[in-house]
Structure 1
Amino acid sequence: MTRILIPLAISPADLPPPAADAAPVVLSGDTMGTTWSVTVVLSLADALPDARAVLWGAIQATLDEVVLQMSTWDPESDLSRFNAAPAGTWHALPEPFYTVLDYALTVSRNSGGAFDPTVGPLVDLWGFGPMGAMSVPPPRPAVEAARRRQGWAAIRLDPATRRAWQPGGISVDLSGVAKGYGVDHVIKLLRRLGHRHALVEVGGELRGVGAKPNGEPWWVELEAPVDAGGADAERTEDANGLVLDSGSPASAHLPRTLVALHGLAVATSGDYLRYVDVDGERFSHTIDPRTGHPVPSRLASVTVLHPECMVADALATALTVMGETDGPAWAGRNGLAARFVVREGRGWREVLTPAFLAMAS
């Protein structure tokens, strides 16, 4: 079975349709420790080698700006300087950095701390930061010490002056939202340059605008955990209207899902994407800020669809931390289109929110 998701409305920002002589051109590069790819519909003149080179440079510079401001790996980034700043100091932030930090704190507040941009010390401790992979799980005292360096609520923002308050010892990590912002940042660049039809991807996070020259939308297949794609599923509905699709335990497959990314972004958080194995035990790279430990392994992945990739990126992480029960309930209450994939024996179980199902055909 193949499930098809169609946006409920046409995005006015993605009109008019491509010109008659337009054709898709693929550009790509490296950023944020991963890769980027942009498929953009260009006129014959814009597709000439010199014009393509200029466009590639503009895209790369746009993503380099995000890295220079928000990288935890670069000691000279604006983020690293904020993390190293003395206690009790205000710091003027560049507009992109301020925008991402402001949104990250909003998600932290709304999710009850399931998303926390100050989780950096715990990310490092569990081997997913600049310090490199761990060889043994950290001892409890070390986890508690890292948790004492958390505190998203202690960061204050001044919108009038675009400043952030460093209370002292707080280490911000925006890796759970920066890639999504990078995608949105590139979309804004393309629109400023007059390119309204494109599919942009950074490290697996995607957003599509407009359409292909033939009028088709940008079709994207949703990511599924390894060995979890392709077979039919049985569907049941719970009391909250959430649909549970259980892949056959014998085949361990999930339905194939295609999304028309017209005015939509998609982000997936999954423990199969990045993890470490220590003595046969798998530790997810997603850390629960509320416990200081990696999230449990039953919830294999969460996918969120939203018009903005920054939003989808952050919410996929927050819902992963909330888990297989609280995550779908919270997503349903907030009208989010989300898919949860849960390990169940030798098979898989999907939990699909009403907003996700509303797009299904």
Structure 2
Amino acid sequence: MLVPLHIEGSPPPWGQTLQRLAGETMGTSWSVALIGPEPLSLAPLYAAIEALFSDVIAQMSHWDATSLLSRFNRAAPGTRLVLPPGFADVMDAALQIAAASNGAFDPTAGALVQRWGFGPPADGQEDQAQRGWAALGWDAHTRSIEQPGGLRLDLSAIAKGHAVDRLADLLAELGLPHHLAEVGGELRGAGLKPDGQPWWVDFEPPAADADVLPLRLALHGLAIATSGDYRRFRLDADGRRQSHTIDPRRGEPIAHGLASVSVVHASAMWADGWSTALMVMGLEAGLAFATAHGLAARFLQRHDGGYVERFSPALEALLS
């Protein structure tokens, strides 16, 4: 079991109950578990959550042709776009991760993803030579980006985590500090249950029969995100697994045998982005990077028909 280094706050008052909401968004599912007073009107809360997700989609969906991101991808060279706060926060984090990882994470890899058949269908637009994240004219002062021409953003490896953070922040703002927020398997927990227990969640195994010990995490002021090749992949003409995770530095799917990387962080957005970067790096380089940068990460590598599990020092520090 993994537990936070610091437990703060008091359990909710007795008499409050566990309540749940769930739905679909961003091509996946979402859910909320919360401790709230009785009676608690869930209809307005559900509507507020749906409005939040609609805003994320309107800003950053690469599947929605009317989104701000899609319009930027089609924009003429030299077009500069001032971003709304959520989009700007995601772009700033994405570019920090891109720079730190030397491009293992690249928010401008949309053309590559599309070329390998994992993004939305091609729209007939001829993308220019792949320039990469450094060509994106990001101005941190004005919170704006410039289209150099033919560059295609794809924030699917970090926007889902951002949505989890916004969902958790919304619940806290509405006076519901004891909650577990989830979008597509990425989770963030806060507060405690009435019995003083945190929100316990299990690390997802890459297969039902995976030969790894169960691992449980107390999500108390923490988030967890996992990148892996066991959910979305296809087989090539020779029957070999082709991961949906693209290495932007090589321009092709990863093929180093790393099955998954899970990152524990205070922010689901950062956990989401870092897990993708480490997944692209592979076991040895990823573990070395996580160690050097203090990232709490768990790696599962395929080996001899089974899996080898490795923890970064920051994750080992959470072992109880």
CA contact (8 A) 1:228 1:348 kept: no
Once the two structures are superposed, the pairs formed by residues 313-328 of structure 1 within 5 Å of their partners are 313-328=272-287
Secondary structure of 2:81 counterpart: strand
Aligned AA (1:40): L
Equivalent residue number for residue 65 of structure 2: 75
**2:168 equivalent in structure 1:** 187
Match of 1:36, SS state, is strand
Matching residue of 2:200: 219
Aligned to 2:301: 342
* Equivalent-residue separation in structure 2 for 1:227 and 1:190 (angstroms): 33
Tell me the equivalent position of 2:85. Answer: 95
Aligned to 1:21: 15
Task: Name the CA distance, whole Å, in 2 between partners of 1:300 and 1:89.
Answer: 39
CA distance in 2, matches of 1:220, 1:90: 42
8 Å contact kept, 2:160–2:184: yes
Could you tell me which amino acid in structure 2 is paired with residue 265 of structure 1? A
Confirm or deny that 1:269 pairs with 2:227: yes
Q: Secondary structure at the match of 2:86?
A: helix
Q: CA deviation at 1:289?
A: 0.2
1:5 partnered with 2:2:
yes
Q: Residues 18 and 35 of structure 2 are in contact (CA less than 8 Å); yes or no, is this contact kept in structure 1?
A: yes
2:37 alignment counterpart: 43
Structure 2: which amino acid aligns with 1:52? L
- Runs of at least 5 residues in structure 1 that lack an aligned partner in the other structure: 133-144, 230-252
Q: Output the CA distance in 1 between the equivalents of 2:265 and 2:57.
A: 23
The CA RMSD over aligned residues, in Å, is 1.5
CA-to-aligned-CA distance 1:202-251 (integer Å, 9 cap, x gap): 0010111111122111010101111454xxxxxxxxxxxxxxxxxxxxxx
Counterpart secondary structure, 1:219: strand
Q: Does 2:43 correspond to 1:53?
A: yes
Q: TM-score, normalised by structure 2?
A: 0.95
Task: Indicate yes or no: 2:163 matched with 1:174.
Answer: no
Deviations 1:248-277 (A, max 9, x none): xxxxx1011000010111111111011112
Aligned AA (2:27): G
Query: In structure 2, what is the Cα distance between the partners aligned to 1:29 and 1:332?
Result: 37
Mapped partners of 1:211, 1:256: distance in 2:
22
Structure 1 counterpart of 2:27? 33
- Pick from 125, 131, 140 the counterpart of residue 159 of structure 1: 140
CA drift at 1:96: 0.5
Aligned equivalent of 1:353: 312
Q: Which has the larger radius of gyration?
A: 1
- How many residues end up aligned between the 2 structures? 316
- Cα contact 1:122–1:147 (8 A) shared by 2: no
Contact 1:267–1:304 at 8 Å: present in 2 too?
yes
- 1:340 deviates by 0.5
Give the TM-score, by structure 1 length.
0.85
The residue aligned with 1:121 is 111
Q: Secondary structure at the match of 1:157?
A: coil
Residue 298 in structure 1 maps to residue 261 in structure 2: no
* Amino acid aligned to 1:225: P
For residue 158 of structure 1, give the secondary structure of its aligned residue in structure 2: coil
CA distance in 2: counterparts of 1:156 and 1:353, whole angstroms:
34
Sequence identity (%): 49
- Moved segments of 4+, more than 6 Å: none
Q: Structure 1 residue aligned with 2:217, among 238, 251, 259? A: 259
Among residues 184, 187, 191, which one is paired with 1:206 in the alignment? 187
Say if 1:149 and 1:171, in contact at 8 Å, map to a contact too: no
Residue 240 of structure 2 aligns with an amino acid whose one-letter code is E
SS at match of 1:130: coil
Return the offset for 1:146. 6.6
Q: In structure 1, give the amino acid aligned to 2:265.
A: H
